[in-house]
Amino acid sequence: MNDQPGLRARDLRGVGVSPGLAAGPVARLGAAPVEPSRETLPPGADVDAEAARVRAAAEEVAAGLETAATTVEGQARELLETTAQMARDPSLVKTAARRVRADRLTAARGVWEAAGTVAEQLRALGGYMAERAQDVTDVRNRIVAVLTGTALPGVPTRAEPFVLVAQDLAPADTALLDPARVRAIVTAEGGPTSHTAILARSLGIPAVVALAGALDALPEGRAVLVDGGAGTVRLDPDADDLARAAVAAGRRRSFDGRGRTADGHEVALLANVGDARGAEAAAAAGAEGIGLFRTEFCFLDRAEEPSVADQTAAYREVLAHFPGRKVVVRTLDAGADKPLPFLTDTAEANPALGVRGLRTARRSPAVLDHQLEAIAAAAAAEEAQVWVMAPMVATVAEAESFVAACAAHGLDRSGVMVEVPAAALLAGPILARAHFASVGTNDLTQYVMAADRLLGPLADLSDSWQPAVLRLVEETCRGGAQQSRPVGVCGEAAADPALAVVLVGLGVATLSMTPRAIPDVAAVLAATDLQRCRELARAAVDAESAEEGRARVRAGLPVLAELAL
């Protein structure tokens, strides 16, 4: 339980990462099977029959995944179908069966070892292929579960909607997160910028992460109320709690296409997208434009740099969805967690502080030049208002060089990402050169707090409500005001309705987020005048902790409770 001020005796406190109110019974994520013993088969055992069990189990897993794929759409369906194909991979099945025969292993142990070898080979390749190692592990766990007669790992199937509780969610688990079945998510690990948090926001599922002891406190079937805005989980909700959750579940907000405060101060509400499909969804949600177009999708899973023609065609597909409206294109953010074999060095001792983002142009300037050429060609062919920005800018000289490179290609609206604290502190002189700045709160928080944003134990530090982070946002806005240049935010912080109020109060002109969050952010801003935004921003910046700042702001925004946010 939790005895913090403001909490009831049966309330648990975690980190709220996706606003909303939802109630339901707990359903636990299926655990991975225990590693099978390496004991050999007893004398006289039918080795061929044991080897045949491998193929039968793999086929059962593949068929189950294909059936599940028919219940979902889009990327989730593609992921499940791809995983089914992996389960049927003849090399995996044959290698496992061979180990069973050669070493007289059980079928489960043969699969475990064969999949482990494949996963290690993928990890050694690095980059996108290394990420596929997790998929192999997921398939291994499913086949072993079938062979050992244990429950399948992953998102459970229940007759009624439920609250999913887990230590954390692997990327493969997310494919079956259907908002119609999963009312809320609670994890013991994760942080505000973990993949679980990002996915929950994109699906509109209330979520609380970093709730210590979640697995002990939330047993299967227990009724809970999850408040993804406040970051609380209430055990055994009463009738009033359930009524509030029911009202919240039935509420559907829309966006009229114009972000503004209660007194008419305009705040453009834009979308973060990664490809043409994302741009289509953003346009359907009524986004006023795109505040962050991640161009990495053109480069991932490639051994060589894509051609200018290929890039141009891909960028045009995104720009075509926003004729006459702003689209901010971020140049390639390779490095760190997105290594590319033709551009980055996977042997860097500390890649998060290494050659990433704009810094890759130091060793491979042609890649940036080709990308700017492609962006310019796409902009000329489409009607969108194209702005271009570079990630990981840290100095005035870097900003000046990037602006010049854009100008050489006829791109006259060039800006910088503010992710490095140095860029925030030098915002004035940087914005004397660049035309705009966009704060990437995910990385800015990581660098300010010296905390890996994907590391669960540091979730309290990986929080954009940290006063030190907000002070750097304020400093960036001050530099923008000095040069009459706009400052936006395109990190996950923009999707938090309460934090959006603070950002506007600090002077942020545009907020870019997952399309699903736009109506909620718009509703809270529309109920808050600019002066109140400034007062709440001051309260958050002057707080001594993220928890204190969040509590002050939420207490000053009664509209959050009214909207179940």
Which of 298, 406, 490, 533 is labelled catalytic? Answer: 490
Residue 305 CA to residue 311 CA, distance in Å, equals 10
Which of 195, 298, 321, 406 is labelled catalytic? Answer: 195
Which residues face 464 on adjacent strands? none
Cα dihedral: 156, 160, 164, 165 (round 10): -90
Residues 6+ apart with CB under 8 A from 462: 191, 192, 193, 445, 446, 449, 451, 452, 453, 455
Pairing of strands 11-13, 487-489: unpaired
Tell the residue number behind the tokens 């991932």, with chain if given: 300
- Has 533 been annotated as catalytic? no
Longest dimension (CA), the chain: 84
15's enclosing H/E stretch is: strand 15-18
Residue 445 CA to residue 319 CA, distance in Å, equals 30
Residue 500 CA to residue 68 CA, distance in Å, equals 37
Helix (H, G, I), strand (E, B) or coil at 126: coil
Whether 559 and 527 have beta carbons less than 8 Å apart is answered as yes
7 burial level (CB within 10 Å; 0-12, 13-18, 19+): middle
User: In the structure encoding, which two tokens stand for residue 460, read together?
Assistant: 């309290």
Helices (H) and strands (E) in the chain, counts: 21, 16
* DSSP-assigned letter for residue 113: H
Question: Which residues are part of the catalytic machinery?
Answer: 195, 490
